[in-house]
Structure 1
Amino acid sequence: MAEQEWMSEVRAKVGREYGRVYAWDEVNAPMIRQWCEVMGVDNPLYTDADYAATTEFGGIVAPPAMLQAWCLEGLHMNNYAPGSTDENPYEVLKTMEAHGLPSVVAVNSDLHFERYVKLGEKLYYTTRLDAIGEEKTTALGTGYFVTLIMSFFSQKPEGDEKVGQLLFRVFKFRPANVPKPVEKGAAPAVPKFKRPKPGVSDDTRFFWEGAEAGKLLIQRCTCCSTLRHPPAPVCIKCHSFDWDTVEASGKGSIYSFVVMHYPEVPPFEHPNPIGLIELDEGVRLIAGLVGVKRDEIQIGQRVQVEFQSFDDGELTLPMFRPVAA
């Protein structure tokens, strides 16, 4: 089938609204508290019932950025709450794969909020295939930008109320650099993959330059001495724009961790343990764990920074190794 023919079929689905996906639970205080703890959010409007009762909301509300979390399937893929649709809102991506566009990369995701959601509300969302762009050729390859919009609603006896929406856009494409077939009898070339380099800005440059020098530098507000990481242009406590840096000891403990098994992305080794490290200075940062056995990693385990160079010295990263108690 010619590309224009199957793409016409795909474009005919633009505007289609897919069925509801329900939340497993009502908006509840324990989930809000745990989310705030993990994200480092300490706004009493979200966790302090006495304080929240004195506000215009009359009680605890959920952080707006939690909107998508209420309707996620959980640990197991596609394990949605009873009553949820079994329609696949990504069916157009499967069609594109079948016609020679196997690769996908997320482009952007935008959340829009109508209002705070309160304890006891039960949410659901629907998905609309919003747009499919014209064919584009990028450095990655040639393909199409696909945009979906998920609209979130609160169930109400008098009529369901929209509380927000999530725009999600991906690029579905045919890779530009497809490896050439290996000639018969020739040894296949082994591609050399490099680690992705971090985005460096005026706010973060000090951190990466410090890593190259073997120093773990943390941003510090010069007005109130608050330490902050990730780096930011303004103090989260006093809102000052003035800051300097302090060299951390590099000692800390594992606050949380994951062990990545899939997808296996070169050049990373798998399983790939990654830790959320709480430094003794009080801030947390995400870093790779080295010298560990995945079955022996423990919350609270003491670790020490060590700097490792990759890609012939092009990149230096702070990694953390367990130390004796």
Structure 2
Amino acid sequence: MDDDELQARLKAYEGRPAAVSGTGRDPVNAPMIRHWCEAMGDRHPAYTGPDAIAPPTMLQAWTMGGLGGHAGGRAGAYDELLGLLDGAGCTAVVATDCEQEYVRPLRPGDEVTFDSVIESVSGRKTTKLGTGYFVTTRTDVRVAGELAGTHRFRILKYAPTRREPRERRPRPVVNRDNAGFWEGVREHRLLIQRCTACAALRFPWLPGCGTCGAPGWDTVEASGEGTVFSYVVVHHPPFPAFAEPDHAAGPAGPYGVALIELAEGVRIVSNVVGMPCDRIRIGMPVRLDFRRYDEELVLPVFQGVAA
């Protein structure tokens, strides 16, 4: 099929349903709100107490089916569209962005229903990942028939670009707000900002205190002790530049990305190295290390600590 025919077939899916009469697996509830706020580090008082509301950004969370799927059916049109793109060689997928509109707050006890529609399919686009098509779905979330919010979710279905393995890791973005942090890393020191007005520690580095708003700060050096707060293991697509040189899976093997809670109470995203990825666990103690990846780049990483 040529490009014009494929584009015409893709455009025919616009306006067709992606999910019909979906029902949230659980009512809006306080435990999920608490878990969300703890993961995000959000202590806003509106999300606790007898008059609590759910954080607006949780809008999509109440519609997700998890491993068990949705109570409402997913429409066949969306699967057909993805299958058509697969057949055209666009076998890879990546989520690109989402947009949310909030109409009314969600409160514990609300029963959520939703309908999704395939809002748009782009023309053929060429990106660094490969050539493909952006697919946007719009989900209207309701409570007792009343619109609570709208969630637009966009993916790129693409044919991966074949390229030579990149030997060098991407360079960090260094600016006037974080230059001191990277200077410390070059000296094998992990520096945490400390507000000089209220002594609150903060990471990543910011121009002002998120607790009291004061602009003044100094630094404290992290002890290097921490635990894995959360993690993911990246299997695909393979990025040889991120693989550990001693990894048994070879130069394009998986690698662990973890949210490390430092002993000082702040969290940092880094790699867990020196161990198979399937041994990484939440709560596992880790210790700071510094690794030189090329003549320019030194990064803070974390080694698992034997029990």
The alignment's TM-score, normalised by the length of structure 1, stands at 0.79
Judge conservation of contact 1:26–1:122 (CA < 8 Å) in 2. Answer: yes
Judge conservation of contact 1:61–1:119 (CA < 8 Å) in 2. Answer: yes
Judge conservation of contact 2:28–2:107 (CA < 8 Å) in 1. Answer: yes
Distance 1:292 1:107 in 2: 31
The answer for the alignment partner of 1:172 in structure 2 is 157
Deviation string 1:6-53 (CA, Å, 9 cap, x unpaired) is 21111011122331332111011111112212221112221233xxxx
Distance 1:192 1:298 in 2: 29
Distance 1:164 1:261 in 2: 32
The answer for the alignment partner of 1:183 in structure 2 is none
Judge conservation of contact 2:184–2:190 (CA < 8 Å) in 1. Answer: yes
Distance 1:149 1:103 in 2: 21
CA RMSD of aligned residues (A): 2.8
Superposed counterparts of 1:180-191, under 5 Å = 191=165
The answer for the alignment partner of 1:273 in structure 2 is 256
SS of 1:67's equivalent in the other structure is helix
Unaligned runs of 5+ in 2: 248-252
1:258 aligns with 2:231: yes
The answer for the alignment partner of 1:64 in structure 2 is 56
Unaligned runs of 5+ in 1: 50-58, 180-189
Call closer, same or farther: CA 1:48–1:97 in 2, change over 3 Å. Answer: same
Call closer, same or farther: CA 1:46–1:281 in 2, change over 3 Å. Answer: same
Judge conservation of contact 1:252–1:302 (CA < 8 Å) in 2. Answer: yes
Call closer, same or farther: CA 1:221–1:115 in 2, change over 3 Å. Answer: farther
Cα deviation for residue 85 of structure 1 reads 3.0
Superposed counterparts of 1:238-257, under 5 Å = 238-254=212-228, 256-257=229-230
Distance 1:293 1:99 in 2: 36
Judge conservation of contact 2:117–2:139 (CA < 8 Å) in 1. Answer: yes
Q: Report how many residues are paired.
A: 296
Counterpart residue identity of residue 30, structure 1: P
Distance 2:171 2:153 in 1: 24
Deviation string 1:172-230 (CA, Å, 9 cap, x unpaired) is 3445x536xxxxxxxxxx73454344444443343333323212122222322211123
Superposed counterparts of 1:1-325, under 5 Å = 1-18=1-18, 19-49=20-50, 59-74=51-66, 76=67, 79-87=68-76, 89=78, 91-154=80-143, 156=144, 160-175=145-160, 177-178=161-162, 191-254=165-228, 256-258=229-231, 260=233, 262-263=235-236, 265-267=238-240, 268=243, 270-292=253-275, 297=280, 299-310=282-293, 312-323=294-305
Judge conservation of contact 1:21–1:80 (CA < 8 Å) in 2. Answer: no
Counterpart residue identity of residue 162, structure 2: V
After superposing on structure 2, the runs of 4+ consecutive aligned residues of structure 1 that deviate more than 6 Å are none
Judge conservation of contact 1:22–1:80 (CA < 8 Å) in 2. Answer: no
Cα deviation for residue 324 of structure 1 reads 5.8
Call closer, same or farther: CA 1:127–1:202 in 2, change over 3 Å. Answer: farther
Q: Which protein has the larger Cα radius of gyration, Structure 1 or Structure 2?
A: 1
Call closer, same or farther: CA 1:208–1:91 in 2, change over 3 Å. Answer: farther
The alignment's TM-score, normalised by the length of structure 2, stands at 0.83
